[in-house]
Amino acid sequence: MALTMTQIDIIRSTAPILKDHGEAITRRFYADLLTENPSLNEVFNQANQKSNHQAAALAGALYAYATNINDLGALTPAVTKICHKHASLNIQPEQYEVVGEYLLKAMGNVLGAALTPKILEAWTVAYWQLANLMIGQEAQLLATTGQWKDGRDFKIVAKSQESSEITSFYLAPVDERPLPSFLPGQYISVTVFVPELGYHQARQYSLSDAPKAEHYRISVKRQTGDADGHPGFVSNVLHDLEQVGDTISVSHPFGEFFLDFTKDKGKPIVLIAAGVGITPMISILNASVLAGYQPRISIIQTARSGSVRAFANHCADLASKHANVSFKSLVKDADPCGCHDVRGRLSLSALDPKDDLLLDDTSTLYFVCGPEGFMADIHRDLCGMGVGSARIRMEIFGTGASPSA
């Protein structure tokens, strides 16, 4: 059933209510949903539940949906991102029914009489309009995976420490069948048992190498929770408990952040990464070098210090061997080894417009990954330098959509 013009007006009129009460609604939604459907605790990120990041993200999404209800094209990037994540988790259509029931019930519990029958009816239709759109997109994504739709058993065949907080995991399929390729920059979902919770949890991790038929590689930062609240359940299990020889469940690769050698052919690329945001960039860099990509490639990496920075030596080595590759390293704090080009917080104005940012070519693509504030700053600065948003691609880990301002 499509929304009528009257219902569209009703949904738009509720945007201020969602702005004021959205998070109360989503907190109630998650509390009731997960209490009465405990099996769904394995679907939702429990670290984000404890920090309320997921409730805040959903509240923001509801507000954005109400605001853009008559122009859903504005929501396409966010919807696409969510659909890829859902596909990696193999979310099923019937789960949308449960979510819709509890979300609408939470609206009623929080808003009371303010949720009139007409508003409830409009939001019911609006929910299913979006849900059916997403169900369709996710079915199309899963249709590309062949028989690999749910988790597949992989063995950890090697672990390699890349920095004081990032470790790489080399994962090979137990069935030893050749792995499908992926677009560099994409991710997989990894599912492990979390003893502290007593059930499984899944997380998405960028593939951090070029596609290989025999194994995948992810590079995982230990999330201590110092800045973001609760320590990461899965990252700490991977670092501390999962050892070489252990088996974990892995999804088919997904993700809308990538370099496409066919569509992007001939375009210079600038890879700008902060912290663990370097991981998808290494996949793009390695795949590009392996494919003999001829356009210029500039990789710009920033980290708190040399001890937490990963893959710097690898990037420098590739830059020394390939004339079209350049590498610049920046660290915020003192770096005893001196293995950096610039000290301090990354500022695009301090970089060379031609050699580092490749601004002399109006086809240059910019890939940005790191904390939300970092990406918002980079996006704003690039736009201020005349780079259109269509040439800026951003990947954000966790909840929410990529910031653009």
* Residues marked as catalytic: 96, 138
C-alpha to C-alpha distance for 18 and 130, rounded to whole angstroms: 17
Cα separation, 191 vs 234, in Å, equals 8
Residues 41, 44, 50: CA angle, nearest 5 degrees: 85
Contact 17, 111 (CB under 8 A): yes
Instruction: Read off the DSSP letter of residue 398.
Output: S
111 conformational bin, left if phi > 0, alpha if psi -120 to 50, beta if neither: alpha
Written as six digits, the tokens of 257 are 């952040």
C-alpha distance from residue 137 to each of 140, 208, 220 (Å): 5, 26, 29
Q: Sheet harboring 247-250: ordered strands across?
A: 199-206, 187-194, 247-250, 152-161, 166-173, 216-221
